[in-house]
Amino acid sequence: MHPLVELAKNAVELYVREGRILEADERSLTDEFKQHAGVFVCLKIGGNLRGCIGTFEPQEPTIAQETVRNAISAATRDPRFPRVSRNELDSIEYSVDVLTPPEKIGSTGQLDPRKYGVIVQAGKRRGLLLPDLDGVDTVEHQVGIAMQKAGIPSGAAIELSRFEVKRFH
């Protein structure tokens, strides 16, 4: 198991079982994971999404700390799902996506839903969709989902940014 995935798993299990926040052991991670970056942590059970929370603007000093924060949030604060229960812990599959900094782009022609995630913004509304998701095969579908998540109406003037991820399972 990759160290970041193990960190996410341990953070969720400690929080759900004991209500305690895991202190990330920075010594066990490479220098790469001591850097500052956005992180998404997704939980699945039987291949079905069970929670996914992340940040593209990092809130913590390191990727390790960002992973702990977002793993706990994915398990307890995703508004689409109830909190993860103790009896679900053994069934959860984890993935951790470390994001590159977003770059503004001028058109959808600079997107590829397999390679790039997208951030769509209109005014203060902002929606994000990770890359390489099952069932999201076109740029139009990817942008449409991100707009829907943000509550941006179809036809609104939007700004686009893209990013890449390193995905760990």
Both 10 and 88 in a single domain?
Answer: yes
pTM to 2 decimals?
0.93
Both 126 and 90 in a single domain?
Answer: no
Both 107 and 125 in a single domain?
Answer: yes
> Where does a domain end: 99, 124, 155?
99
End-to-end CA distance of the chain: 7
Both 23 and 89 in a single domain?
Answer: yes
Q: Output the pLDDT for position 155.
A: 93
Both 69 and 49 in a single domain?
Answer: yes
Domain count across the chain: 2
Radius of gyration of the chain (CA): 16
Position 17 confidence tier, pLDDT thresholds 50, 70, 90? very high
Both 83 and 127 in a single domain?
Answer: no
Both 35 and 78 in a single domain?
Answer: yes
Both 121 and 68 in a single domain?
Answer: no
Instruction: Say which CATH number the domain at 36 has.
Output: 3.30.700.20
How many Cα atoms occupy the beta-carbon half-sphere of 51 within 13 Å?
26
Q: Would you say residue 156 has pLDDT above 80?
A: yes
Both 92 and 163 in a single domain?
Answer: no
Per-residue model confidence as pLDDT tens digits over 90-137: 999 999 999 999 999 999 999 999 999 999 999 999 999 999 999 999
Q: Would you say residue 28 has pLDDT above 80?
A: no
> Where does a domain end: 49, 82, 99?
99
Both 49 and 110 in a single domain?
Answer: no
d(CA 68, CA 66): 6
> Where does a domain end: 51, 69, 99?
99
Both 86 and 138 in a single domain?
Answer: no
Tell me if 119 sits within 8 A of 149, measured CB to CB.
no
Q: Output the pLDDT for position 34.
A: 85
Hunting for tokens 């000093």 — which residue is that?
61
Both 125 and 71 in a single domain?
Answer: no
Q: Give the domain range for residue 115.
A: 103-168
Report the percent of the chain where pLDDT is more than 90.
92
Instruction: For residues 35-59, give the mean pLDDT.
Output: 96
Give the per-residue SS3 of the chain: CCHHHHHHHHHHHHHHHHCCCCCCCHHHCCHHHHCCCCEEEEEEECCEEEEEEEECCCCCCCHHHHHHHHHHHHHHCCCCCCCCCHHHHHHEEEEEEEECCCEEECCHHHCCCCCCEEEEEECCEEEEECCCCCCCCCHHHHHHHHHHHHCCCCCCCCEEEEECEEEEC
Instruction: Say which CATH number the domain at 122 has.
Output: 3.30.1490.150
